[in-house]
Structures are given as structure tokens and as C-alpha cells.
Amino acid sequence: MINIFLIYGIFFISFYSLLFFETIFGESNTAEYQFLTKFGGKESNDGELSTPHSIDIDKKGNVYVTDTGNDRIQKYDLDGKFILQWGEEGSEDGQFDKLHDVYVDPSGQFIYTLELANHRVQKFTYDGKFILKWGFEDTGGRGVERTPHQLSIDSNGYVYLTDKNAHQILKFDENGKFIESYGSKGSAAGEFLEPHGIVFDSNNTIYVTDMKNSRVQVFDKNFNFIRQWGSFGNGSGQFSGTSPGIDYYEKQDIVFVVDKTSTNVQVFDKDGKFISKFGSKGKQDGQFNRPEDLAIDPEGKVFVADTGNSRIQVFEK
Ligand SMILES: [Zn+2]
């Protein structure tokens, strides 16, 4: 009898110690990233931002932001110091209408932009000189208007666009020649409901935020389905059906997803295991209003496009 009580005693002490340590670890994990600084503001002067939808950072530490409300791209250094800008409202070469995404190719030489209103990709030099553009007329329209929302580039220079309303991924070469489309509408593996964010890791593995399915889907470089994670909700590892932005940080092999309605950023390992999260709804430092995108700088700092607050916020560990 005594032995049995002893065993139960040890069991319960171990059990509750474990719970205790898990609570401590859980709390330190959710506060893993802290607010560092912010830049932008609601006017249209140099460096100020109006509803920025997208952000990207090249390997040298140049930060590019779609200043959507002002129809221009702005370029900053990692401290948020304004470097240059280009663009104005319109549909001519180098002009913008409803800018939605910006992406720097891995070499840092070329900047790609995506506009919802002009239905096109434009390609620029790193200092904003127009190179070329393409539309989506020759992509097998499927009876649905093409509505690309984000783009990403693999290490071979191919450009991939998420087509939100046609529930597909489109692949082009670096000069805009259409190559292939992937996926169809649905919730099975490899199907999409409003795909939005897209990013590649260092092995050209593809990660897509499949928004209305509240999940991230992962594909190999030939677009074979590998795995998925996430479910509907606002808990850890869940998505609210509005997760527009995703990025990958090579040095730590981790994936970041921003959620517009849950107003947070979640951090996962490459297999989709939840690591931590930060952010809540509001205007204070560290809070968000309808955040649409994020980018990771070479040292692992997280830059969030806090779209509704017309600013970029920077977080560090
Ligand atoms: Zn969008």
C-alpha cells in the first residue's frame, strides 16, 4: 500500500511540475518578439505611408514598401530612413493603381510590383527604373478574372503569383512569359480557397497561405503537395481565414504568418509546429490594425506592414 501511495505521489508531483514548467515556457514563448521601432505616418511626404499593403527586404538590407494610398514604392534602410521613391497614380509604365505587392528578386537587382487595378506585374531596377511589364490575358482564364495578390521568386528566377479569385498559383519566367498554373478551387490537399501569401525556402520548397481554408500548404519545387497546417480560429497555430502574408527566415529555418483579423504574427518551424506569436488589435506600439504583410531582415528582425495604421512596425527577439 505504502509503495502504491508513494508511486501515485511521485506521479502527481511530476505531473504538476510539468504543467508548471509548460506554463512558464508558454508565456515566455508568446512574448518572444518585442516591439523595437516604427516608421511611416499618414501623410504623403517622403517616407510617410498611406495604407501600406506589402513589404520586402533584400539581402543587403534595403526595405521596399508599397505605399498603396499614395500610388508609389518607397525604399528605406533597415533603420526606416527614407532612401528614394517612385510612382504616381495611373496606368502608364512606372505608374501604379491599387498597388498590392512588392518583391525583390534574390539577387537584389530587380523589384517586381503587382497592382490590383491595372492587373499587371511591373519589373524595375533596384532604384526604380522601369524595365518591363506583363498582364494575365494569356493564362487560360478559366472564366474568372485573374486577380493576383502576391508574388514570389524561386532561386531559378521564376515568378509565382497567387491568384486569389481563380484559386490558383501562376508561374512565369523572369520576362513575363506564362509557363503554367497550379491548383483549383477546393479544400482537399493541393486545392485552394483564396490563396494569398507565397514564399520559398532555401530548397525552393513553396509555402502558400490558403486563406479561406485557414491553412498553410507546402509544396515541393514541382508543386507536389508535401504537407499542410492550421485550422479556423484565433488560437495558437490557427488562422482566421485572412492570413495574407508569409515569409521565411533562412538562418533559423522558421516561417512567419501574419493574420489580418486575429491581428497577430505567428512563428512556425518548417514542419508547421507552432513556436510563438505576438501582436493584438489597436494603435499602440506593438499593436496592429488589419496587417497585410511582413518581411524578415538579414538579422531576423520582423517588419510588419501595419496597413490600417499606415506604418511599418519592427520587432526583435
Ligand atoms: Zn490581397
CA of 54 to the centre of ligand 1 (A): 9
| Confidence label for 28 from pLDDT (cuts 50, 70 and 90) | very low
pLDDT for residue 252 = 95
> What is the average pLDDT across 241-255?
96
How far, in Å, CA of 131 to CA of 72, rounded?
Answer: 16
Distance 149 CA to ligand 1 centre (A): 5
Res 132 pLDDT > 60:
yes
Q: Band of the pLDDT at 8, cuts 50, 70, 90?
A: low
Any idea which residue has 534595403 for its cell? 62
Decide: 67 and 312 in contact? Cβ < 8 Å.
no
Distance 9 CA to ligand 1 centre (A): 55
105-119, 185-199, 265-279: least confident range: 105-119
Q: What is the C-alpha separation between 118 and 131, in angstroms, rounded?
A: 17
Of the listed ranges 65-74, 137-146, 176-185, 200-209, the one predicted with least confidence: 137-146
pLDDT at position 140: 76
What is the pTM for the complete model shown? 0.89
Q: Which residue has the cell 485573374?
A: 146
Mean pLDDT score of the chain: 90
Residues near ligand 1 ion, CB 5 Å cutoff: 149
The stretch 6-15 carries a mean pLDDT of 50
The rounded Å distance from CA 242 to ligand 1 centre is 9
Would you say 161 and 207 are in contact if contact means Cβ atoms under 8 Å apart?
no
Question: Who's near 286: CB < 8 A, 6+ residues apart?
Answer: 34, 35, 278, 279, 280, 313, 315
Cell numbers describing residue 42: 499618414
Q: What is the model's pLDDT at position 26?
A: 44
Q: Which residues contact 222 (CB under 8 A, 6 or more apart)?
A: none
